Amino acid sequence: MSPLARRRGANGSAAPTAPPAAVPEAEAYPLARVLRDDATADPAEVTLSDAELVALYRWMVLNRQLDERMVGLQRQGRIGFYIGSIGEEAAVFGTASAMAEQDWIFPCYREHGAALLRGLPLATFVCDLLGNAGDAMLGHQMPCHEAWRPGRFASISSPIGTQIPQAVGAAWAARIRREEMVSLVYFGEGATSSNDFHTGLNIAGVHKVPVVFACRNNGWAISVPRERQTAAATIAQKAVAYGLHGERVDGNDVLAVHAATRRARERALRGEGPSLLELVTYRLEGHSTSDDPRAYRPPEEVEPWRKKDPLLRLEAFLVKRGALDAAAGARLAAEAREQVQRAVQEAEAHPAKPPLETMFEGVYAEPLRPQREQLEELRRALADDPRVAGGRGT
């Protein structure tokens, strides 16, 4: 049989060939770590100073206190909805802290801490949850969908993955303008099944757009476990299909996350294209306050991850390094609780609703005639019956 015949099947079509021997996918993408189990690290791999590490720890503690307090407010009926990042703080702060001031951040919906890091006032964030007159979004968004333009923090969107092409487009535009800007975009592992994920990574790979794709692989897409979302052994290996650099990082190790993000940003600025970082972490609580994970997730799965809590790991490292004393964790937690409490009080002091006119603003530079007519119609309706629009005053 000729070599050509051997390569063809009985009907003349190309016969399948055995794939070349390859390293198993998970082994090809080993989990990058800096923090060891004994709370030490190779000094050569610690890229942050003690002061910077303590600052990161302080932010993570504040974020934890914020999440716990906001869940409490939702249970009291004082806010309608909350979605937090308990257990995933290292993935959020490790990435955001590695970016430069001129970079844009495109969040998923658990990265409130990144917005605070970029300067969003804590009370303004709480106002967003209340949708009151102090809300920077003027009540136009659902709770937990903040944006912060002064900090180059784009708006959170509910649809899965829509922020990915937005991040690619912004970075591509910046490169055309010869601006030194890199986009950082967050998403969960469930979003890697979305059209926008493939669209964004494909275009970014073809044009070597300066983007850092940060996938928080927290094990669950609401109630769907990771193994039911994709047959791929890792998320990082999906980078291969688009010609990207892929890397798998311990997402509960803030030092490893920071270092990987910094390397990805430097590659992007050198024109070497985007990177896909798979940050392996775990969602310790429910997807949101509308979700009860006890309905689909056994507690024995959760408990081992509590021992890998990113705050505990960083605190243990700092104490062993001599950068914190043993009581620092409790002291910083108390300070953070007080800070959050003050922000809640400040936010709740704002009028319950934004001015009526703001309902018709923000779409066009100046409201068009239909918007002006609708505003006048609403004012007349309110004059006739103040209960219209929930008793909103003019």
3-state secondary structure of 220: strand
Query: What are the Cα distances from residue 173, in Å, to 169, 170, 184, 209, 268?
Result: 6, 5, 14, 9, 14
Rounded CA separation 276/42 (Å): 25
Residue 23 has pLDDT above 70, yes or no: no
Rounded CA separation 313/200 (Å): 34
pLDDT tens digits, one per residue of 253-268: 999 999 999 999 999 9
| Residue 6: active-site member | no
| Residue 258: active-site member | no
Nearest-CA neighbor of 192 among 140, 139, 231? 231
The active-site residue out of 64, 262, 287, 313 is 287
CB 270 within 8 A of CB 328: no
The one-character DSSP state at 211 is E
**Lookup: tokens for 310:** 């990113």
Residue 22 has pLDDT above 60, yes or no: no
Nearest-CA neighbor of 87 among 120, 113, 123? 113
H or E stretch covering 241: none
Q: For the residues 52-65, what does the mean pLDDT come to?
A: 97
pLDDT tens digits, one per residue of 175-232: 999 999 999 999 999 999 999 999 999 999 999 999 999 999 999 999 999 999 999 9
What ranges in the chain are assigned the alpha helix state H? 3-6, 25-28, 50-75, 89-96, 112-117, 122-130, 163-176, 195-207, 254-269, 299-306, 310-321, 328-348, 369-384
DSSP 274-328: -EEEEEE----S-SSTT--GGGTS-HHHHHHHHTT-HHHHHHHHHHHHTSS-TTH
Token match 């980078």: residue?
239
CB 272 within 8 A of CB 263: no
pLDDT tens digits, one per residue of 129-185: 999 999 999 888 899 999 999 999 999 988 999 999 999 999 999 999 999 999 999
Q: Is the dihedral of CA 32, 167, 225, 237 positive or negative?
A: negative
Query: What whole-number percentage of the chain has pLDDT above 70?
Result: 91
**Lookup: tokens for 30:** 């080993």
Residue 372, pLDDT score: 93
The active-site residue out of 112, 258, 283, 313 is 283
3-state secondary structure of 19: coil
The active-site residue out of 296, 331, 342, 372 is 296
- Encoded amino acid at 135, one letter: D
DSSP 54-92: HHHHHHHHHHHHHHHHHHHHHHTTSSS-----TT-HHHH
**Lookup: tokens for 93:** 């702060």
- Phi and psi dihedrals of 191, rounded to 5? -70, -15
| Residue 145: active-site member | no
Token match 């333009």: residue?
149
**Is domain 43-349 in CATH 3.40.50.970, yes or no?**
yes
Rounded CA separation 107/145 (Å): 9
Token match 């914020």: residue?
66
pTM above 0.95, yes or no: no
- Phi and psi dihedrals of 278, rounded to 5? -95, 110
Rounded CA separation 89/283 (Å): 10
Residue 115 has pLDDT above 90, yes or no: yes
Residue 393, pLDDT score: 44
- Can you name the residues that pair with 225 across neighbouring β-strands? 220
